[in-house]
Amino acid sequence: MPLLLPESLPCIPVLKSEGFDVSDTVSSSLPAEVHPLRLLLLNLMPQKEEAEMEYYRMLSHHDLWVEITLVKMSGLTYKTTPQAYVDTYYKDIADIMAGGECYDGLIITGAPVEQMPFEDVRYWKQLLDIYSWMQVHVNAILHICWGAQAALYGLFGIPKYDLREKMFGIFEQKIEISSLPIFKGFSNTFFMPHSRHTEIRRSDMSSCKALEIVASSPVAGVSVVQTKDWRQLFVTGHLEYMPGRLAFEYRRDLKKHLPIHIPYNYFENDDPNGAIIDSWRNDARRFYKNWLENYVNNHSLSHVKP
């Protein structure tokens, strides 16, 4: 079924050329009996168009009608994405919250502010307001990378810790609760890209009865956490990443003379000029498909038990 995107979004022809079933919310003629799942994408990434594309590609492997609304923080201006683009295609989160409507799903992305104290982030108070609002108005929430760390701290007081060097590469994850529908079709392990300077720790989770760790890595640490009512998932890596994303980040940091190592388990023979080992995308597609079908499309999550 098509992914319904904002009217005249520039990337729609590109996605169609790649074989994705996408359309915009105006040109689509929906059958009267169809009521799309309504999904908010709160995009905190700097290059917004590139980040969007990664999510569109991940959210297109299912048999549901899904309408995506792009959402931005209130009162911010942008340097790495044209302001006109944001103003045209994004809705203000304050307007969304004031509207009083309910939504089926919400994705809150990562953001390049992970080494700052949470309280120093310029939109921290807005995020706390969103956390309060989403408890009542959103069925299922997916928090990604810094977005996961921020929500775990803002909602449950789970701290983040600086790493001595960047966790950067593709790391094997072990599934700890295999019966969960988010892991339908998975084996016991899967791979996930990580690109972060901070971590959360298992030891801080033990006293929080609302949370459970559902996947982790012996190298990268805690990778997927969920609330026990299944409504919220916290993913510390980037399953949505396209194959070339870590190569781009690696070369960008080299050019800026930032401390960076070759991404782990990413280039064949650790050769930056070699082929990229695409080890995660099949399971990434399953993860997003399972989330849409079993979490976003499940309107009684609080009553569901594993």
Q: Residue 229 maps to which CATH number?
A: 3.40.50.880
Instruction: List, for residues 51-79, the tens digit of each pLDDT value.
Output: 999 999 999 988 899 999 999 999 888 88
Looking at the predicted structure, is the pLDDT value of residue 305 above 50? Answer: no
Is 206 a member of any domain? Answer: yes
Known catalytic residue at 145? yes
Looking at the predicted structure, is the pLDDT value of residue 281 above 70? Answer: yes
Query: What does the pLDDT average to over 134-158?
Result: 97
Looking at the predicted structure, is the pLDDT value of residue 302 above 60? Answer: no
Is 205 a member of any domain? Answer: yes
Known catalytic residue at 11? no
Q: How confident is the model at residue 303 (pLDDT cuts 50, 70, 90)?
A: very low
Is 252 a member of any domain? Answer: no
52, 54, 67, 240: the active-site residue: 240
Is 249 a member of any domain? Answer: no
52, 67, 114, 145: the active-site residue: 145
Q: How many domains does the chain have?
A: 1
119, 238, 257, 293: the active-site residue: 238
Is 265 a member of any domain? Answer: no
Question: Average pLDDT over the chain, rounded to whole?
Answer: 93
pLDDT at site 299: 64
Is 26 a member of any domain? Answer: yes
Looking at the predicted structure, is the pLDDT value of residue 301 above 80? Answer: no
pLDDT at site 172: 98
Q: From CA 221, how far away is CA 215, in angstroms rounded?
A: 9
Known catalytic residue at 238? yes
Is 134 a member of any domain? Answer: yes
Range of the domain at 187: 3-163+171-241+282-303
Q: Report residue 120: phi and psi, to 5°.
A: -90, -10
Is 124 a member of any domain? Answer: yes
pLDDT at site 9: 94
